[in-house]
Amino acid sequence: MAKKIENRTTLDGWGNVITGLGQKGRDRKEDTMFSSEYRLSEMICRNLFTYSGLGRRICEMPVADAFRKWFTIEGDTDNTIQNEVKRLAVKQELSRAWSWSRCYGGALVVVSANDGGLLDEPLDEANIRDIEKLRVYHRWRTSRMSYYLDLDDPKYGETECFMIAPNQPFQTSFSVHESRCLIFDGVDVAPEIRIGNNWWGDSVFQAIYQRLRGLGESYLNVEHIIGEFLLMIMKIKGLSQKLAEKREGEVVDRIMMNNLTRHLMGGYAIDADGEDATRISATTTGLRDLMEVLMMGLSADVQIPIRKLFGSPIQAAGLGKDGDQETNDYNEWIIGLRDKHAQNPTERLIKLLMLQKAGPFHGKELPNWKIVWNAIQEDNLGTQLDNKKKQTDIDRAHWEMGVMDENEIRENRFGGDSYSHDTILKGKAPEKANVEDDPGAITNAN
């Protein structure tokens, strides 16, 4: 006979029925749980972007830092593509699209290309005469009209056509094929959330809304504290009796007279018999520390260093002690963000610019081209010299081992437009040099 298995649930945890520790209904932490917030509307996102300096900074700063040094095209030796980039204001339009995607949860750029087809038809890349304009629309101005439904299509389930509602005078809604669009998605979210977002991501404001609101409310409270920093306490003879006898008018008149004398003579006229006036200063001890805690929370949520987000160093303990490391971490985050959100649409646009038959490349892509993003932040002079000295030590070791000769070192380091740490070896290794015969062949760079 099979042994009956008893179903039972064991709940482990610390608790104390006397003090209420761990007891739901008595221990307040046991009733604390995380819950979802209401979904932000287009109007709230727009207002935060338009009327909140901090909100706009959160949306635009990472984009500006990612695009500040811009890029070059490897293989475009004459930098010809930049003429087209300037003509179409590519940097401005892509920056707007990415900033709006952070604000609203998504944006797209419609590429107005003359290829002989209609907007709602697939772009004929082999027949692009020229590109006239780039037009940016945020998530709330778009809807998805149709999807790829062929199971064998690599794009199965993805959007095929968008409907654009410009919401501008004299412009009507129109449909556009996805191949004519550059997509900038918002913050990545679960599929269940994307369904409610019309398959777009989230606004950056969605996850930080409570933090942003709390900090804004705290700023208002600080303004009130400043406005009430000096309080005047007046002792009025017979105040309680006058109020009990409903003679409030006499009290108000007395206060108004004191205010008038304060403005006229810089002091108060009080009755020597039973009246008194005392000025009390409000204390702000610890207020700065409390504000910095709120600023730290917002900074952590948006992943922007406090000193950069708020424009000044923070004095709280442990903050800003290693500014260089903080900056490096932020720059690495920016690079990752750019790779995730801007790399594909930028590459797509550059390809289309090359395919213009009336353009400088006459409809032909450069072979093996790629985007090379310029460094977000260059090292300071001291760091550059230290790196050059380290490179010189490495080169000297290679020279002593016979891996490189002085001509190869000179060509690799100084053969280009600027100093380079890249090393390219060609041909066979040179004859091993004798350091004792030529001890000064390589000296440290300073």
Separation of alpha carbons 208 and 287, rounded Å: 22
The count of other CB atoms within 10 Å of the CB of residue 341 is 24
In the DSSP assignment, the letter for residue 249 is: H
Domain co-membership, 374 together with 386:
no
| Helices 90-104 and 343-354, packing angle to 10 deg | 150
Nearest to 315 by CA among 302, 299, 296: 296
pLDDT in tens, 103-145: 999 999 999 999 999 999 999 999 999 999 999 999 999 999 9
| CA–CA gap between residue 419 and residue 400 (Å, rounded) | 22
**For 78-114, how does the pLDDT look when each residue is reduced to its tens digit (9 = 90+)?**
889 999 999 999 999 999 999 999 999 999 999 999 9
The answer to whether position 316 is within a domain reads no
Look up residue 371 and give its two tokens: 């985007």
Q: Cα(291)–Cα(309) distance, rounded to whole angstroms? A: 14
Average pLDDT of span 391-418? 84
Whether residue 392 is contained in a domain is answered as yes
Q: What percent of the chain has pLDDT over 90?
A: 52
Same domain, yes or no, for 403 and 268? no
- Report phi then psi at 178, rounded to 5: -60, -25
CA distances from 29 to 84, 210, 334 (A): 60, 20, 37
CB 95 within 8 A of CB 67: yes
Q: How confident is the model at residue 323 (pLDDT cuts 50, 70, 90)?
A: low
> Quick one: how many helices (H) and strands (E) in the chain?
14, 10
Query: Is 271 inside a domain boundary?
Result: yes
Say whether both 374 and 389 belong to one domain: no
Amino acid letter, residue 331: N
In a domain? residue 24: no
Domain endpoint, select from 356, 378, 400: 378
Give the helix ranges, DSSP H, for 198-357.
Answer: 204-227, 239-244, 248-265, 287-302, 306-310, 323-341, 343-354
Residues 162 and 256 in one domain: no
Q: Find the domain containing 251 and state its range.
A: 230-281
The upper half-sphere exposure of residue 427, i.e. CA atoms within 13 Å in the direction of its Cβ, equals 6
Q: Could you tell me if residue 390 is inside a domain? A: yes
pLDDT of residue 445: 43
Instruction: Please check whether residue 26 lies inside any domain of the structure.
Output: no
Strand-pairing partners, residue 106, are 185
Residues 337 and 430 in one domain: no
d(CA 229, CA 410): 68
**Same domain, yes or no: 368 and 417:** no
Does one domain contain both 277 and 352?
A: no
Structural domain includes residue 310: no
Residues paired with residue 280 on neighbouring β-strands, in sequence order: 231
Same domain (yes/no): 244, 215:
no
Please report whether residue 188 resides in a domain.
Answer: yes
Verify that 256 and 330 share a domain, yes or no: no
Q: What is the pLDDT of residue 317?
A: 41
Does residue 77 sit in the same domain as residue 130?
yes
Q: Which residue did the predictor score with more confidence, 163 or 424? A: 163
- Domain count across the chain: 3
- The pLDDT value recorded for residue 326 is 83
3-state secondary structure of 161: strand
154 and 267 co-located in one domain: no
Indicate whether 369 and 423 sit together in one domain. Answer: no
